[in-house]
Structure 1
Amino acid sequence: MANKLPRVFSYPKVDTLSSSIGTYILRLQDTALQRHGHPKFRVAISGGSLLDVLVRDPKALLLNPNTKWPQWEIFFADERAVPLDHSDSNYLQLKRTILDRIPSGYRHGKPTVYPIDDTLLEAGDERGVTQEIADAYEQTLVRCFAAKDSVKVPVFDLILLGVGPDGHTAALFPGHELLREDSAWVAAMEDAPKLPPRRITLTLPVLTHANHVVFVATGEGKRDVLKKVFEVPEEGLPCSWVNRQAGGDRVAWFVDDKAIEGVQGFVKGVL
């Protein structure tokens, strides 16, 4: 477990936050592409307000000529067990927020995206379908990252996560049994405490082994949970677990001033 305090980059406005997080991500992109023997930047991303923040300043990342979209491989840190064209789908949100907004013929093209196999939903609502989706998505990771018997966990270049007011991140919720999962890469959930209840999620071992983890939190509604993450780390919230176990230079938080006001227990980051 890392001992260093995480870095927090805070900004008075979300527009400025968006510009800075774009700069930060592109630095990670360039480092990863230089490090790899193959030209891929592998990113796992959550849905929610995180995606809206990423594109608030479209010139920072979305339409930045330095964003090498064709070399990006985008996976999902969590996904809802719904069709890809359903309003609850994280894939659909990514498509509308980012993929559809990269102009056709744009010189850098578009990223490779790995959604869930929603054809498995055709079996209906019977219990077990969500597990099939999780198993299939884990096999996607196996094919992309290597044979599972030779790789303990897939190591993403970057995982982008949001933070719920209850401290959940991805589809890992406080007190849920999936927090104890230590062998599967992708887990199924039938009983999420918020709708929709059926989801899949990357597990804690995968989240905490990424080369870099970036949390995004905005608004005064996140202030209480950030106090618990930074000032009372023994709280055991899912986002606190990731924050502590990945820790140090591998974790960065991008927040607005409203979310972090009055919170202590971190190192202020400077780009």
Structure 2
Amino acid sequence: MGTLTATSPQLCRWHDFSTTAELEQSAAHAILQAAEAAVRLRGAFHIVLAGGTTPRRIYAALRKADADWNAWHVYFSDERCLPAYHLERNSRMAMETWLNQVPIPPGQIHPIQAELGAGIAASAYAKTLKNIPLFDLVLLGLGEDGHTASLFPGHDLGSATDSPAVLAVGNAPKFPPQRVSLGAHRLSAARKVFFIVSGASKKKAIQNWLHGIPIPAAAIRPQDGIDVYLETTLFETDH
């Protein structure tokens, strides 16, 4: 594994792994370490989950962990405006892969009710987050176009300090067009942020990120910086 620094003004710690399995194992271990530290220091662990396909195997690994699940509080970075149990809902993937199989109290798992429509769901989720000034850990992925959560190029990223915590996204370039997403400023209100990136299709986005091109992922700027876990082949650029 290597650790390098990008030229972007965003503070990034880049961790590259020779195989996807090594990446996933290291990320799962880092998540559990963050949880243990948060519970020890503050008695609770507030984590925001990424959707999509990349974190699925990490979630599967976490369900086998010996963790203090009663102290976990789970939120979501974004959600698709689809019926509650639709196959492409982020919450369904996380529940089936992991959350339904560990004893986190149900009242401490907070899906986004995107089936109600983007505007209503965004407003309701902002109220859910109101009393959580800092997340302990935010997990995020990276799209081929550099998007993260449902923050897409050319759209409002919610980066300003007075931006809404949760955005109603319309006309997204990926299906479905209506989504709900935490804004960049709210996602940055975290003690730790991990990006989990795999797949050859992400290489151009990584090149742009390393070269300081302002992709949406570069708008996530927590005070302590971010950690990016990715495959070595994605780091084989001309940077």
Q: TM-score when scaled to structure 1?
A: 0.78
1:184 alignment counterpart: 164
Q: Which runs of 5+ in 1 are unaligned?
A: 103-108, 122-128, 146-153, 265-271
Q: Is the 8 A contact 2:10 2:218 kept in 1?
A: no
1:117 alignment counterpart: 113
1:239 alignment counterpart: 217
Q: Which runs of 5+ in 2 are unaligned?
A: 1-7
Q: What's the secondary structure of 2:138's corresponding residue? A: strand
Q: Is the 8 A contact 1:179 1:238 kept in 2?
A: no
Between structures 1 and 2, the one with greater helix share = 1
46-55 or 182-191, which deviates more: 46-55
Q: Of residues 14, 18, 30 in structure 2, which corresponds to 1:12? A: 18
Q: Is the 8 A contact 1:91 1:115 kept in 2?
A: yes
1:21 alignment counterpart: 27
1:171 alignment counterpart: 150
User: CA 1:197 to 1:3, structure 2 compared with 1: closer, same or farther past 3 Å?
Assistant: closer
Is residue 130 from structure 1 mapped to residue 118 from structure 2 by the alignment? Answer: yes
Larger Rg: 1
Alignment of 1:11-90 (within 5 A): 11-36=17-42, 39-55=43-59, 58=61, 61-65=62-66, 67-90=67-90
Q: Is the 8 A contact 2:209 2:218 kept in 1?
A: yes
- Residue correspondences, number: 229
Q: What's the secondary structure of 2:86's corresponding residue? A: coil
Q: Distance in 2 between matches of 1:133 and 1:94?
A: 19
Q: What's the secondary structure of 2:54's corresponding residue? A: helix
Q: What's the secondary structure of 1:166's corresponding residue? A: coil
CA RMSD, 1 decimal: 2.1
Percent identity of equivalent pairs = 31
2:5 alignment counterpart: none
Q: Is the 8 A contact 1:51 1:97 kept in 2?
A: no
168-177 or 23-32, which deviates more: 23-32
Q: What's the secondary structure of 1:49's corresponding residue? A: coil
